[in-house]
Every structure is written in C-alpha cells, then in structure tokens.
Amino acid sequence: KHNVYVLPYRFMNEVSRPTTNPVSNEDAQKEYNYVRSKHNLLVPPSDGLITVAMPLYNHEKFVGKAIEAVLAQTDQNFELLICDDASTDKSAEVVAGYKDSRIHYFNSDKNEGQMPSVNKLLKMSKGDFFISCSSDDVIDPTLFSKLREEFVKDPFLEHVASQNDFIDE
C-alpha cells in the first residue's frame, strides 16, 4: 500500500542503483537483509536501570502509598526521582520518612505544573527506561517486570504502556 524509498545515507555503499527511486517492499526487504548481513546489528540492552519520575504537589495523603508501590516492585533495578512542585502541605515530611538510597527528592521554589516537573526529572534521569508515576498513583508490584519483559521480547520497542484503572480516594 506504500511506496518505499531507500535513503541514500543508509545504503549508499550497499546498493549499485540510484537510491532515490521507489522500490517494492520485497526489494526493500532484500536490501535491508543485505545490509544486516554486512553490518552487525546492535541490540539495545533490556536489563538497564528504570527511572521513575514522580511529580508531587500537595499529595501528603497519597504520596506514601505511591512510594511504597514503587519500592514493592518485583524488579528492583530502579531509581525514584520525586519533584515536589512547591507543595504547601506536609508532602516533604512524608517523603523524608522513606530512607532508601534509590529515592532522590527535589523541591521547586515555585509551582510550575506536572509536565514541567516530569521534564525536570527526565533531565536528571540516569535510567535506560523512563516511567512517569503521579504521586497519587499506586502501581501493581509486577509492573516494572512486565514492562521489561516486553523489551526483552522485542528490544527495538520504543514505548510500552499499561492500562490505567481509575480509583477514588
């Protein structure tokens, strides 16, 4: 259903004909297989660190359960980055009660919103994988393991997600 174009920079040393012409899917697959036979395919690792970004704003009632849900994961290869977006309640005190070297707490001077907080944490991330988890969320203890399994099955995946179940207070 689609025209396939082989880009010159990718195959310029491998194809003897001009590469700006459309090729059939079968021809494109043959060329792809030829290039793969000449060049080692680097498979991305799937056992790396998971960064969990937790934006926090006035969730002193919920953030403890959110942290505990992360700490209870069956896959323990993670860091938890928490960005307190200038909370006015006792959220900071709740977070301070958790003594785990994988938890890193950052406090903003002014409230900027959830996505700016997530973006700040993304910049600080050391992980190979990135998950955003709100400070009023609880997650299944096998979530990280299940997500990682999908990357093991197909290491070229760029994104894996799960279903959300909405709960009240």
Kindly report, residue by residue over 39-50, the tens digit of the pLDDT.
777 777 889 999
- The answer, yes or no, to whether residue 76 has pLDDT greater than 60, is yes
How many Cβ atoms from other residues are within 10 Å of residue 72's Cβ?
A: 13
In this predicted structure, the answer to whether residue 63 has a pLDDT above a threshold of 80 is yes
pLDDT of residue 154: 87
For residue 9, the model assigns a pLDDT of 41
State the Cα–Cα distance between residues 51 and 42, nearest whole angstrom. 23
Q: Cα–Cα distances in Å, from 31 out to 14, 25, 36?
A: 8, 10, 9
pLDDT 10s digits, 77-104: 999 999 999 999 999 999 999 999 999 9
Does residue 169 register a pLDDT over 80?
A: no
**For residue 112, is pLDDT > 70?**
yes
Q: Is the dihedral of CA 112, 118, 119, 125 positive or negative?
A: positive
* Single pTM value for the model: 0.76
Nearest alpha carbon to residue 52 among 129, 109, 110, 108 = 129
* pLDDT attached to residue 32: 74
The arithmetic mean of pLDDT across residues 125-147, rounded, is 96
Report the pLDDT value the prediction gives residue 14, as an integer from 0 to 100. Answer: 46
In this predicted model, what pLDDT tens digit does every residue of 17-30 receive, in sequence order?
555 566 677 887 78
The amino acid at residue 46 is: S
Max Cα separation, the chain? 68
